[in-house]
Amino acid sequence: MQKLIALYALILSLIILPSCKDAQNPSKETAMEPQFGGNVTVGISSDVDVLNPLFSQDIISGTINDLIFGALNYSEFDLEKGELVYLPNLANSWEISPDNRSVKYHLNIALRWSDGYKFTADDVQFSYYLYTHPEVGSVRQDMTSYFISEGKTKVEIEKAVKVENDSTVVFNFNQSADDPLFVSGLPILPKHIFEKIKLKDLFVNDVNQNPVGIGPFKFQKWDKQQQIILVRNDSVNYIKIPYLEKLTFKILPDYNNRINQLKSGEIDLAQNLRPEDAQTIKKDFNKLNVEKISGRDYDYIGWNCIDHEQFVNSGNKKITPHKLFGDSKVRQALTYAINRKEMLEGFFGEFGNIAVTPISSIFKTKANTDLLPYEFNPNKAKQLLSESGWKDSNDDKIIDKNGIPFKFKLMIPAGKPQREYAATIIKINLLAVGIEVEIEVVEPSVFFENMFTKKYDAWIAGWTIPLDLDFEGFWSSDLEKNFFNVTSYQNKEVDEIFAKLKLTNDIEATRELLFRFQEILHRDQPTTFLYWVDNLVGYNVRLKNLQLNPLAFTNRAWEWFVVSEK
Partner 1 sequence: MFLRRFLRRIFASAVMLIALITIVFFLVRLVPGDPTHQYYSPKLGSELADRVKVQFGLDQPVHVQFLKWFGNLAAGDLGYSISFRKPVIDVILTALPVTLTLAVLALIFQMFLGILFGTLAGANPNSKLDNTINIGSLVIYCAPSFLIGLFLIYFGSVKLGLFPTSHLHSTEYEDFSAVNQFLDFLHHIFLPVLTLTITSAAFTTRFVRESLSNVLSQPFITALRSTGMGERKLVLSHALPNSLLPLITLLGIEIGSLLSGALITETIFSLPGLGRLTVDAIFSRDYPLVIGCTLISGFLVITGNFIADMLHAKLDARVSFETIG
Strands (E), 264-406: 269-270, 288-303, 353-354, 400-401, 404-405
- Does 564 help bind partner 1 (rule: CB under 8 A)? no
Binding residue for partner 1, selected from 24, 35, 39, 464, defined by CB under 8 A: 39
* Residues touching partner 1, count (CB under 8 A): 61
H or E segment and range at residue 150: strand 149-150
Q: Is 253 in the site for partner 1 (CB under 8 A)?
A: yes
Q: Which residues, listed in sequence order, are joined to residue 230 by a DSSP beta bridge? A: 219, 247
In the set 226, 320, 369, 464, which binds partner 1 (CB under 8 A)? 226
The HSE-up count of residue 429 (CA atoms within 13 Å, CB side) is 22
Name 549's bridge partners: 552
Under rule CB under 8 A, residue 49 binds partner 1 = yes
DSSP letters for 320-338: -B-TTTSSHHHHHHHHHHS
**Quick one: which of 34, 37, 389, 466 contacts partner 1 (CB under 8 A)?**
466
Type of residue at 78: D
Complex with partner 1: residue 70 or 187, whichever CB lies closer:
187
CB of 266 or CB of 400, closer to partner 1 = 266
225 binds partner 1 (CB under 8 A): yes
Stretch that binds partner 1, among 259-267, 375-383, 433-441, 499-507 (CB under 8 A): 259-267
Residues from 483 through 502 that contact partner 1 (CB under 8 A): 483-484
Among 263, 292, 296, 454, binds partner 1 (CB under 8 A): 263
- Residue 298's nearest CA partner among 465, 547, 446 is 465
Site string for partner 1, 266-305 (x = CB under 8 A): x---------------------------------------
Nearest CA-CA partner of 552 in 256, 249, 280: 249
Give the start-end residues of each E strand in 322-452.
Answer: 353-354, 400-401, 404-405, 407-413, 436-442
User: Is residue 477 involved in binding partner 1 (CB under 8 A)?
Assistant: no
Per CB under 8 A, does 57 bind partner 1?
yes
d(CA 295, CA 353): 9
Q: What are phi and psi of 290, to 5 degrees?
A: -125, 130
Shortest CB 110 distance to partner 1, Å: 32
174 interacts with partner 1 by CB under 8 A: no
| β-strand partners of 218 | 231
Build a one-symbol-per-residue string for 116-145: x at contacts with partner 1 by CB under 8 A, - elsewhere: ------------------x--x-x-xxx-x
Q: What's the chain's length in residues? A: 566
Report the helix count and the strand count for the chain, using DSSP H and E: 17, 23
For 107, list phi and psi in degrees, rounded to 5: -85, 155
The smaller minimum CB distance to partner 1, of residues 191 and 263, is found at 263
Q: Are 190 and 213 in contact (CB under 8 A)?
A: yes
Under 8 Å between Cβ of 97 and 175: no
Radius of gyration of the chain (CA): 26
Give the largest Cα separation in the chain, rounded.
Answer: 80
210 makes contact with partner 1 (CB under 8 A) = no
Q: Does 15 contact partner 1 by CB under 8 A?
A: yes
Cβ pair 42, 267 in contact under 8 A:
yes
Q: Report the nearest approach of partner 1 to the CB of residue 209 (Å).
A: 8
Give yes or no for residue 404 binding partner 1 (CB under 8 A).
Answer: no
Q: What does the alpha-carbon distance between residue 418 and residue 441 come to, in Å, rounded to a whole number?
A: 13
User: Which member of 72, 130, 181, 252 binds partner 1 (CB under 8 A)?
Assistant: 252
Binding-site member from 9, 85, 446, 507 for partner 1 (CB under 8 A):
446
Q: Does residue 149 interact with partner 1 by CB under 8 A?
A: no
Name residues whose C-beta falls within 8 Å of residue 387's C-beta, 6 or more positions apart in sequence. 329
Q: Give the residue with the Cβ less far from partner 1, 34 or 253.
A: 253
Does 464 engage in binding with partner 1 (CB under 8 A)?
A: no
- Binding residues among 311-330 for partner 1 as defined by CB under 8 A: none
Minimum CB separation of residue 517 from partner 1 in Å reads 15
In terms of CB distance, is 111 or 267 closer to partner 1? 267
Buried/exposed code over 132-155 (b: 16+ C-beta within 10 A; e: otherwise): bbeebebbbbebbebbbbeeeeeb
Shortest CB 134 distance to partner 1, Å: 8
* Interface with partner 1 (CB under 8 A), residue from 256, 320, 369, 464: 256
Is residue 64 near partner 1 by the rule CB under 8 A?
no
* Stretch near partner 1 under the rule CB under 8 A, chosen from 67-75, 78-86, 440-448, 498-506: 440-448
Q: Which stretch binds partner 1 (CB under 8 A): 76-84, 328-336, 379-387, 437-445?
A: 437-445
Nearer to partner 1 by Cβ, of 36 and 452: the residue is: 452
**328-337 helix and 417-432 helix, angle to the nearest 10 degrees:** 110
Chain residues in the site for partner 1 (CB under 8 A): 4, 7-8, 11-12, 14-15, 39, 41, 49-50, 55, 57-58, 134, 137, 139, 141-143, 145, 203-204, 208-209, 223-227, 229, 248, 250-254, 256-257, 260-261, 263-264, 266, 443-446, 448-450, 452, 466, 470, 472-474, 481-484
